[in-house]
Every structure is written in structure tokens, then in C-alpha cells.
Structure 1
Amino acid sequence: MLRVTGVTGIDEHRKGCKQTNLQPRFLSKHYQYVLAFIFAVENINNNPHLLPNMSLGFDLYNALPSEAKTLENCLIWLSGIGKAIPNYSCERKGKSAAVITGITWSLPAQMGTLLELYKFPQLTYGPFEPLLHENNHFPSVYHMAPTDASLPIGMVLLLLHFHWTWVGLVASEDMKGTRIVSELRGEMDRNGVCVAFMEMIAVTNRYDYPMHLNYILRIQDSSASVVIIYGDTDSFLGLIFDRWNRVVTWKVWITTSQWNFPSSEKMTMFDTFHGTLSFSHHHREIPGFKHFLQTANPSKYPEDFYLGKLWFIHFGCKVSESDCDKLEDCIPNASLESLPLHEFDTTMSEWSYYVYNAVYALAQSLHEILLLSVDSQSIGIGNNLKFQPWQLHSILKNVHFNNSAGEQIFLHDKRISESTYDILNYVSFPHGIGLQVKVGQFVPQAPRGHGFSINEEVIEWAISFRETPHSVCSNSCNPGFWKTALEGKAVCCFVCTPCSGNEISNETDMDHCFKCPDTHYPNTERDHCIQKVVTFLAYGDPLGTALACTALCFSLFTAAVLGIFLQHRDTPIVKANNRTLSYILLISLLLCFLCSLLFIGRPNMATCILRQLAFGVVFTVAISTVLAKTLTVILAFNATTPGRRMRQWLASGAPKSVIPTCSLIQMTLCGLWLGTSPPFVDRDTHSEPGSIIIECNKGSVTAFYCVLGFLGALALASFTLAFLARNLPDAFNEAKLLTFSMLVFCSVWVTFLPVYHSSKGKVMVAVEVFSILASSAGLLGCIFAPKCYIILLRPERNTLMGIRDKTRSAGR
């Protein structure tokens, strides 16, 4: 017989019949590991294809929370005589092959220190612990559980899914707890999750009740609604929660399968851990295990003291007076399946699954040794397999098989092998009824963003939560706001600041706002950008229509005045003021009115260039014509003085040469403007928040102001000369009219400059058009309106006799 030793923790050693009359602390979940162990051994012994003609036996030893007791049991097992004698081994019929240990990582570490001296294989079904493999301190220890390297990632993904950014951490203050907390905090920091508090529960000070109370109060009073617990209920961490006599229904607990939820006999919906979410390595149900538990009873296994204790406690049994190992008067058809969840759970746990696999891994390894021994004909007398336990290592490291559930089992490379996590929701009900419902899954090997899934609809939260709980330091910032960190606080604690300027935020809890494109502008809530409307001074706009109609009306008036002057060209009033210059001035004013139409409508490259050239040249002709008229008046009066050469200048037409000269200068400036930096079509996206204004960019601002400055100089010269000649006597002297017209003209353009620069968009264009119309209208009205009045309404004054009478009146 080959023997496998199982080490677990259930309760104290049996101490006679009187012990049975008491109800000791009995960890039923650990007893399931024992039954899984027995179930696996029986299956192997009943399998004719595995270890044929041999049977697998076992020894069971209790693992108490004491290093001394653990090592003592280990020595008793090695000695084989029920007494701890170092380096002594009693010859037995069966031969011990290996040891299976659990459930905490400290147990294989404690035993490994001793067993490593003998190279005994040790298979541990507890959580994977990298510390056992560091520096190759325990080469004989094999883990059945996959690594938990991705557990912090899965937990943080769960937090991010529910937007929990303010979380408490509770862990045992040992190497494993410190390591997992360090990894968890690193993952939380990388994903913007903050630690509201962190409690590292000391593994010492077991009876320090004031310290335990402080732990409880800090956890209970924390503002965090979500608390991550890493540890198991058999540790001092579990002891603290076991003494928590308060019901806390305003916390969401996140933990692992090491935490034993049904630990209280008073299970209700007001249980502290009702609604807990836990991570458990995915495993399948072993066929036949539930039936095995249903049929297990003291009569089937009379040597099982713990099974008899369960029957005695829960099924009304009595101890036989003649034999304290025999039970009488038990409830008929009693079964472990009828026990409440907090007493015994018939669903195979994760750790029982690993116990089952550990037994099969050893059986497979022993089978390999058996096959090798048959080949080398090294089987001893009585078909006893001769081997040393250390010979199992080479086979265990490469063992690979499919268990009865159809899953592949292998022990090599466990440090990089990770299985799928099931996310379970613990729900407790009265009368010991409790369920762990699968609500999600985390697959570490899946591509990023595809490995985590959860069904919120089936989750049962703690009774205080009517909806999905919130756990944040600061309420989320809605779209339109951004998070502003608070000095000295965690990054999860912030205030919400509205986006400013042309910026928006279109998601919750954005770290900063971002600007809208130039073609868009933010809406009132500043949570999305709106397409700007393309606009310009169009003919369809009320303002554009009014200006265009005004320009056309004045053009018609100018044409009408020109027609009147042409019709009455031989009358004294038309002749007296140089009718050629009058015609030129009227034509130029007509063009001035018409050129304003180039400023209205959608700009293009042609209109942008033409509007500025037309404006500059046509106005230059108009103002230079006024200057020529002024010079003509001055020369006409001064030419009457004997001995002066004024008459020659007047006769030679010198005043008229001002027009081409000034026009040539202005055309040269315009040519330089077009040659260096001509006007072009531009888009103004900033002047009006909701509009993109299509406009003509001046190109060279210097050239624009040179053209405008030259016009101003001409206007100032004309105004000055006209002002000096305003008192010259004559019936039809234009000096006063020219003075007043230039005063109006200069006033309009002086006012234009500040208004133009303070305007934006199409209003700026409208101001320029208005200034063109107003100044042109001023010249037309001030110079030609009085003359048209005489021509049309006072024709008697438009004669030579009328001129003489007017001259006499002016002379007196």
C-alpha cells in the first residue's frame, strides 16, 4: 500500500467520549477538504487502469494555528509511531510517498523547512504564494492553485466598471498581505482609484481587543462605501470580523474565495457580508462528488471521528453506552445535504477541487514510477513498489493529465499560468440559506478590454443600497466641467470647474477641457461643439439690403444730377464752375456709389481686389476733382489782378492736371499693394461666437493705410484751400460749397477710423460701406444740391442778368 498524508485544520484532537457531548468549534469547510481527499483516493483505488494491483492509503493530521504543533505533527508522521522522534522512521507496511498541505501559505512554509531535509514532495492546495519559490528555498513544494498575479488587475477592473474610485483596503500584515496590497495600490494608482484608508491587521496581538475595536471602528466609519478584504476567515483578520457584533449594511465588500461567508449561524438579509463580491478561480464540478457527500455517513465510515461528530451535533444522535464510537437513535435518512450552508456546503469549493487534483497528480506520478519499475523489473517482493519519495520530483514537475471534469492539470510553470476568475455575489437568507451566484468573469489571457464582463442586473447589493452603490471622494464632474485637484488631497478628491473660453468637456470626470475647432463653437452647457454658421454681408441680410438700396438710390440721384447738368450745360451756373470738372466729379461720385456694391455679397478673390482698387482710385479722382475745382476758383479770382501769371495757369488748364497726377500716385500705391501683399479671402472664426465670417483680408495693412492716408491728405488739402477761398465774392462761387462738402467728407472719415477698428465681422464691412455712401452723398449734396435748386426751382437766377444782380448784391 502506498500512503499519502493529508494535513488540514478542523478542530482539536479527539480526547475521549466526553468530548463528544460538547459542541466544539468545527470548521465544516475544512472537513469538505478531507472528504474530497477521501473521495479522490477511493476513485483511484476503484480505477483498474490507475495503479493496478495496488491501493492508495492515507493518513490525516490536524494543522493547528501553532508552529510547534505543526512541526510536532510532521515529526509524528515521519516517525510513524505516534510519537515525535527526530530522524527516526518506523518500518511500516505502507510507504509514505508525499504530503498534501493547505490552506494558508504559512503551513507549507513551516512544514517545508523540515520536509525539505528529506526531499519529501509537498503539494499545497492553498493560494499560490510566490515567496515559496523565491531563491529556490522550497524546491519540493508544488502549488495546485494558479497564480494570483492578475487578481489586482481584475479587482481594479471591477472598481472601474462601477466607477468606484474611493476604496478601503484591509489585509493581514504579513508578507503575502503586504505584497498583494502593494500590487493592488500600484494598479489602483495607474487607473485613478484612490485608497480611502488602509488597515494592515497584525497577525500577532490575537487577544488585543482594544486594537481590534479600533480596526472595526475605522473600517465602519470610513466614507468609502467599498472595502477590499484580502485574507481568510481562519486568520487573525477573520477573527476580528468574527468578533464584529454589529451589522453593517452600508459597505460593499470585495474579497477572494479564501473568505468564508457562511461563518455565522444567524444568516439573514441583514448579514454584514450580504451582497459581497468575491473572486474565485474558475473550476468545474467533479462528477460524483455531490453523490459521494450525500451518501457519506458514520455507518459507512465508522473510523471517521469528525463525520460522527457532525451527526451527533445535527441529527439528534446519542452515544452508545457500550461503545463511545457508536451513535444511536439518529434521524433516519440523515445526509450532509440537509445541513444548512453555514454548517456544511455540498458544492465543491475551489480548495476541495485542488485537493482532488493533488491526489490525482500524485497517483499519476506513482503510476509513471510503476511503469518504469515494470520495465526495469524492479518491483519488490509482494508487488511492493520500491522507490524513494525524492524520485517523484522529476515526474511531478512534468505531470500532465485531464481530470474527470475534463480540465487539464499540470504542475510545471505554475508561476505564469493563470486561470479564469469567476466573480461571485454572496446572498444570504434566513434559516442558514446562502448562495454564491456567478455574476461575472475575468479572463487574464484575453485581449485588453475584452477579458472582463459582469451582469449588473443579477447582483444583489447590501440591504442599504436601493441602486448600484457609489463610492467616490468627490461627486463626478458633469460634461461642461473639469476636475480641479485639491491641494494636499488624493487625486480622487477634487472640485468641478466650468470650462471657459472656446473649451468644452463632453465626458464625465474629465481632467481638462479641450478647445472646439475653429469651425465650431461651444454650446451653452459647454458639453459639445456646434458647427458655426458661415456668414457675410449678404444682399439678403436686412443690413446688406438697406445699404445696397441706398447705394442704388444715390447712384440714380447722381445720374439724375449729371443728366440735369448735361441738359443745362449752356446755362451760366453750369459754365461758371467749370462744367468739365463737374462732369468728372459727378461720374466719379456715381462710381463711388456703385463701388460700394462690391463690398456686399460673398467675397471672392476678384471682389476683394476690385473693391479696394475701386475705392482707392475712384475716391482719389473725386477728391482730386474737388481740389481742382478749388484751385480753379482761387486762380479765377487772382487772375484779375494785373501783372500776375495766374491767368496763364488758368488758361493752360493747370488745375485739371491735379486729377491725373493724384490718380497716378494712388494707382502706384495700389500697384505696390497688389504686388507685395494683395487682399485675399479670409475666414474670421473669432469675432462672432456662432459664426464663421467670410471677409476680405486687407493683406498689407500698411498699404491699406497708405491708400487711405493719401486720400486723407487730398481731402485735407482741398478743405484747407476751400476754407481760405470761402469769402471770395461771386454770384456762383463754389468755395463755400466746397468748404462745407469737404468738412462733411473729413468728418465722416475721421469718425470712420475708431468705429471701424471697434467693429468686427460683417459690421466692419457695413461701416466701410456706410462711410463710402455718406462721404459721397456729402459731396453730392453739398456741391450740387444748391445748383440743382437754382436750375430747377429758380431758373430766373440762372441768367446773366441774374448773375449781375447777384454780383452787385455781393459787392455791396
Structure 2
Amino acid sequence: MAPEDTSLPLAMVSLILHFSWNWVGLAISDSDQGTQFLSYLRTEMEKSMLCFAFVNMIPLNMRLYMSRAEVYYNQILTSSTNVVIIYGDTDSTLSVSFKMWTSRGIQRIWVTTSQWEVTTSKNDFSPELFHGTLAFAHHHAEISGFKHFIQTVNPLKYSDKYLARLEWMNFNCGVSAFMCKTLRNCSSNDSLGWLLAQTFDMAFSDDSYDIYNAVYTMAHIYHETLLQPMDNKEKSQMQRLILPLFQMNSLLRKIHFTNPVGNRMNMNQKEKLQPEYDIFQIWNFPNGLSLKVKIGMFSPYFPQGQQLHLYEDILEWATGSRQMPPSMCSADCGPGFRKFRQEGMAACCFDCSPCPENEVSNETNVDQCVKCPEGQYANAEQIQCIDKAVSFLSYEDPLGMALTLMALCFSAFTSVVLGIFIKHHDTPLVKANNRNLSYTLLISLIFCFLCPFLFIGCPNAPSCILQQITFGMVFTVAVSTVLAKTVTVLLAFKVTTPGRRMRYYLIPRASKFIIVICTLIQIILCAIWLGISPPFIDIDAKSEQSHIIIVCSKGSTIVFHCVLGYHGSLALGSFIVAFLARNLPDTFNEAKLLTFSMLVFCSVWVTFLPVYHSTKGKVMVAVEVFSILASSAGLLGCIFIPKCYIILLRPERNSLQKLKEKTSY
């Protein structure tokens, strides 16, 4: 008569999920029924990613149980779970174990069936923290007249064992130790009507309801029997009700009806209906009293996700809150973290690990963080991806603005120096230092100072090519001009003697050849650069977390370093030649100035290389621009500032008479 508990595991799992539990214990009888329940429950829990903190299968044999009782007790005592499922017969060793746990003060949320409602009495009660029983009972409607009968019955008129115990519990009457039938010290007019003020369950228990249905089933069988036509009309009505067992069995298999409560009854095993469950919350008070409140129900016939329905208002009234105590193996991993499982741990047990760099999680208990797209980065909390800002050396940037002002000032100052030299082109100072080479050097320096404008601003394909090619060419012209000036000084005093025509013929041609040949070599290097791997736009989204850096990649770094190395070889050659000619007698001998200018130039670019390779992004571009400005300023300052000083402030030294005096000396 009792329906199978095939949907009970699903009902319990639905309740566990509703309260966000994932770490529960299980204590069941070691029987076929318990093993079957465990199989169903394990399947449902695995579907929902729930875990067992422990599984205690209590043996039915009392001797075997007593040898392991302390093990079971210690296991539930030390477990971190707050929820324990109890399933089995109340007259088994499981009941003994359960009473021992509660008597020793173990407080848990017990999830069980209605037959486990009666628990050991407690003398203490803590309403601030729920520790009670959630019981599942088969759903059936109220039986008409039953509540009125319970409330008006006088227990002294009945010898029913249950009523006697109920009278002893609520009226403090004595009950004999053996049969529990004799009631003493009780008023003959007492009834149970006062229990109406309490929340007392007036419905049938599951066992009583099964008996109720059994009686009605037999009544229907006999009713059908009486309605059947009989061949032997002489049989009495009583004889017709005496049925053979095989005939009784056949009728049971066919019987189906709706009982007075309104529930369908079907005895066909193949068409067995899945039961619905009422969910009760039971609190145990001192002196054996308890409070039982219906807080919801479960129906397997509703769609998935709507099968469990809890009465939130009643739940809040019964517990003071709609939230149950937590029962989780591990604390939730909030946004910005991910679950990290160690080997051998249950699926519900994990550690929380921060998301890796540039990965986010905006949900709770995620297994993997999500990597931000290429154009975004993770915020500090790693819960959101933010669009990266585009970064390049712009004119609005303080660094770019400072370099722009420096380039403009130096190019303007160089133009002023060029104007001074052009204005005083007939003076001995300008003539003695080869004014054509001075003009060429000053013009190349103006372009050197203007070259940084190709580096500042948002890069594009043409500017990336022009900035490196222009830088390579104008610096080659400038340094080769310095080399030509130093070679001119050396040839003027070492190769020829004063007064010969060959001196005036050789010196101009040597300087032109030096500039042309040196520049031609650089043109070949740049052509190879453009042919092999020219500069291009490089979008760097990885160097800085919050920025997308747009820079010009050098393309072939080998050729780029060859261009720098070629500049260095020209500068080194100029330095050596100028150093050799530093002590040659001449009034306006600039060999010393050229030597010092090449020393400054080489120092800047030797320092540039390690600093350049240790920086990234716009700082790297700024380092290159600063090196261009510093080395160009070194050439301008060391070679031309002393001459401008003499031309503008010491004009008496810029005369032919002064030149003759120095020469005779």
C-alpha cells in the first residue's frame, strides 16, 4: 500500500539546492531499501554537483553496530556539514544511533521522512540558530471528521496505545511501563480540544494513511464481489465474501478508485503513481514538546525547476529568517576569483584563487576566468574588462610637447647661426673654416632638429618609413660633413705646403667626395632596409595593461643597427682625424672643436643603445628623439657656438691683421 520513495531523492535534492547547500551527510540503514535509496540519491546529487560529507551505512546487526557506534558518532561530530539526511526504519539500529547523536548534543539540520518526527527531548532551546528537522511526508488531503474526532475524544474511553502516550505527554498523566493502557491521575472530562491553540498535526501519519487506504481497498474488493453475478444462487451473502487467495490477488491487481480524501489509488504495479510530498519543519522544545509546521510541498508532475514550492512567509515566521544556516564544504569564490581544486578533494571542496593577469570573472564559483579581448584589460578587482586607451607620443602629451619645443628652439637657433655665417661670409673666421662645409653642416643640422616631428604624433605607414630613412640620411650628411672638415684641416697642413696651387685644388674636391661617398653608402643601406624588411606600424596591446601602444617597428633590426653603426664609424673616423689635427698651427683651427663634438656625439649614441632597448612604447620613441636632439645640439654647440661668440662679441679677433699676427708668431 505504501508508495515507493522513487521521487524522494529528487525532492530532497531540490530542497538542498533551494537553500544553496552542497555539503551534506547521509546516515542510512544498511539494507536493500537503504542501498536503493543511496543509489537514487547519489545519481540526483551528481547531476546537481552536490557532495557527500560522509555516508554512514548503519548495520542492522546490533552487535556489529555497537562495535562501530563511536566511529559513526565521531564522524558526524567532526564533519563540517550542517545538514544530515536520515533514511531508514525507526525500529532499527539507525534509530538507536540517531538518539545517541541528539542526546549527546549534536545539533544539525536533519532532513528525513515523517516517521522520524519524534526526536529526543531537550532541556535547552536556542531560537537564534535553527537546528531541527525537515521532514518529507506523502501528500494527502485532510480526512473529513478526523480533526474534530481528535479534538473531542476522551482518551479514558479508549485503550489505544497512541492516545495513551499522547495523553501522558500533554496532560502529564502516568502511563504504566508495560502496556501503556492504564491512565491515572487524569480527569475523566479531559479532551484534546486545547491542542487547537497549538500547531498540532491533525492529519494522518503516512503509516495511518496507508492503513486507511488498505481498508478502503478491501472495501472496494468486497463491493465488487457482491456486485458480481453468482452461478450458485443458493450461496449466502456471507459465503460470497469468502474469497480464495488467487481470486483476491487478481482483484487487487485490477482495482483502482478515488478514496474519500480525493487521492487516486491504483494497485497495478506497472502504473504506480509517483507520490507528492509535503515538507514539514519540526522544532523540538523542552519536556518533549515539538512544533510542526508545513513549509512547502514537492510534486514530480510539475516542470523541472517548478517542482519544489516553499511557503516563504511561513518559513520566515518559523525560523525568523528566510535563510537557512549554510552547509558548504568551501566558501564561495566571489567575482574576481576562480575555483582551484586540489587532487583528491571532492567536487564541492576547493580553494579560491585570484584570476590570472588580464582575466576576469563576474560570477560566483566559476571554474575558469575569462580572458579579456585584445583591446581590453581587466580592472583592479578583475571583475570587468575595460577598453584600453590608445597610447603614442602625441603633441598633447607633456613629454611630446617638451620635445617639440626643444626641436623648434634648436632648429630656429640653427637657422640664426646659419644667418650669422651667411651675413659674415667674407670674414676670415668663416673663410678659414671652409664656409661651404659650414653651410652644409648647418643645413643638415636644421633637418636633424626637424626630424623628431616625424616621430611625434600618431604613427602611420609613410611616417614610419620616413622617420627612419630621414634620420639615417640627414645624420649621415651631418657626420660626413664633420669628417670632411677634419680631413680638410689635415690635408691643408700634411699633404700640401702653403702657396702651392695643388692645395686649393685638392681640398675642395676631397671634401665633396667624402660627403658624396659617405651619403651614397648610407643610401645603399637604406635601400637594403626597405627591400628586406621596412619599418611598419606595430600595435602593442601586451606591454602595458591599460593601453594599446602604437609605435613604429624598425622592421629589420639588423639593418637598423647597421645604420647606427655606420653613423658611429663616421663619427669615430672624424674623432680620430680631428684628434690627430688638434695641435696643427692655425689661427682658426677647429680641430679641437671637432674632436670634442665627436666625443659628445659618440657619448650620446653609446648611451642611447642600452637605454633604448630597456624601454617600451612612447618612452622608447622619446629616448630616440632625445638622442637625435642631444647629438645634433652637441655638434651645433661644440662647433659653431665658439665661432658665433667671436663673430658677435669679439669682432677684433675676426680680422686679417689678427690672422697675420698669429701666423708670424
Instruction: Give the structure-1-normalised TM-score.
Output: 0.68
Q: What is the RMSD computed on CA atoms of the aligned residues?
A: 4.7
- Asked whether the 8 Å contact 2:58–2:65 carries over to 1, the reply is no
Alignment of 1:439-478 (within 5 A): 439-442=295-298, 444=300, 451-452=307-308, 454=310, 458-459=314-315, 468-477=324-333
Q: Secondary structure at the match of 1:706?
A: helix
Alpha-carbon distance in 1 for matches of 2:656, 2:269: 126
Alpha-carbon distance in 1 for matches of 2:256, 2:627: 95
Question: Is the helix fraction higher in 1 or 2?
Answer: 2
Q: Secondary structure at the match of 2:103?
A: coil
**Correspondence for 1:587:** 443
- Asked whether the 8 Å contact 2:19–2:323 carries over to 1, the reply is no
Matched, 1:775 2:645: no
- Asked whether the 8 Å contact 1:229–1:255 carries over to 2, the reply is yes
Alpha-carbon distance in 2 for matches of 1:452, 1:343: 23
Percent of pairs with identical residues: 54
**Correspondence for 1:181:** 38
Unpaired segments of 5 or more residues in structure 2? 175-180
Return the offset for 1:647: 4.8
- Asked whether the 8 Å contact 1:584–1:625 carries over to 2, the reply is yes
Return the offset for 1:280: 3.6
**Correspondence for 2:91:** 234
Show CA shifts across 1:731-763 (max 9, x none): 233332222212111110110000111112222
Q: Secondary structure at the match of 2:620?
A: helix
- Asked whether the 8 Å contact 1:626–1:718 carries over to 2, the reply is yes
**Correspondence for 1:167:** 24
Alpha-carbon distance in 1 for matches of 2:607, 2:613: 11
User: Once structures 1 and 2 are overlaid, which stretch shifts more, 722-731 or 667-676?
Assistant: 667-676
Which residue among 714, 718, 727 is the counterpart of 2:574? 718
Which residue among 559, 574, 591 is the counterpart of 1:703? 559
- Asked whether the 8 Å contact 2:199–2:293 carries over to 1, the reply is no
Which residue among 134, 141, 145 is the counterpart of 1:277? 134
- Asked whether the 8 Å contact 1:519–1:531 carries over to 2, the reply is yes
**Correspondence for 2:461:** 605
- Asked whether the 8 Å contact 2:21–2:326 carries over to 1, the reply is yes
How many correspondences in the alignment? Answer: 655
Show CA shifts across 1:50-104 (max 9, x none): xxxxxxxxxxxxxxxxxxxxxxxxxxxxxxxxxxxxxxxxxxxxxxxxxxxxxxx
Return the offset for 1:309: 6.2
Q: Which amino acid counterpart does residue 285 of structure 1 have in structure 2? A: E
- Asked whether the 8 Å contact 1:588–1:619 carries over to 2, the reply is yes
- Asked whether the 8 Å contact 1:719–1:739 carries over to 2, the reply is yes
Alpha-carbon distance in 1 for matches of 2:581, 2:253: 120
Alignment of 1:382-531 (within 5 A): 384=240, 390=246, 402-410=258-266, 418-429=274-285, 434-442=290-298, 444=300, 451-452=307-308, 454=310, 458-459=314-315, 468-477=324-333, 479-482=335-338, 484-485=340-341, 490=346, 496-498=352-354, 501-503=357-359, 506-511=362-367, 515-526=371-382, 528-531=384-387
Q: Structure 1 pair 803/315, CA: closer, same or farther in 2 (3 Å)?
A: closer
Alpha-carbon distance in 1 for matches of 2:607, 2:582: 24
Alpha-carbon distance in 2 for matches of 1:179, 1:807: 121
- Asked whether the 8 Å contact 1:589–1:780 carries over to 2, the reply is yes
Alignment of 1:96-495 (within 5 A): 124-125=1-2, 145-148=3-6, 150-185=7-42, 187-188=44-45, 193-205=50-62, 212=69, 215-216=72-73, 218-242=75-99, 246=103, 248=105, 250-259=107-116, 261-262=117-118, 269=125, 275-291=132-148, 345-357=201-213, 373=228, 381=235, 384=240, 390=246, 402-410=258-266, 418-429=274-285, 434-442=290-298, 444=300, 451-452=307-308, 454=310, 458-459=314-315, 468-477=324-333, 479-482=335-338, 484-485=340-341, 490=346
Which residue among 476, 485, 491 is the counterpart of 1:635? 491
Q: Structure 1 pair 602/500, CA: closer, same or farther in 2 (3 Å)?
A: same
Unpaired segments of 5 or more residues in structure 1? 1-123, 126-144, 319-324
Return the offset for 1:775: 0.7
Q: Structure 1 pair 335/571, CA: closer, same or farther in 2 (3 Å)?
A: same
**Correspondence for 1:53:** none
Q: Which amino acid counterpart does residue 703 of structure 1 have in structure 2? A: V
Alpha-carbon distance in 1 for matches of 2:286, 2:299: 34
- Asked whether the 8 Å contact 1:366–1:392 carries over to 2, the reply is no
Which residue among 575, 579, 588 is the counterpart of 1:732? 588
Instruction: Give the structure-2-normalised TM-score.
Output: 0.81
- Asked whether the 8 Å contact 2:390–2:548 carries over to 1, the reply is yes
Alpha-carbon distance in 1 for matches of 2:171, 2:634: 118
Alpha-carbon distance in 2 for matches of 1:564, 1:788: 8
Q: Secondary structure at the match of 1:653?
A: helix
- Asked whether the 8 Å contact 2:143–2:203 carries over to 1, the reply is no
Matched, 1:793 2:658: no
Q: Secondary structure at the match of 2:459?
A: coil
Return the offset for 1:772: 0.8
- Asked whether the 8 Å contact 2:298–2:308 carries over to 1, the reply is yes
Q: Structure 1 pair 282/678, CA: closer, same or farther in 2 (3 Å)?
A: farther
- Asked whether the 8 Å contact 1:400–1:411 carries over to 2, the reply is yes
Q: Secondary structure at the match of 1:729?
A: coil
Return the offset for 1:802: 2.6
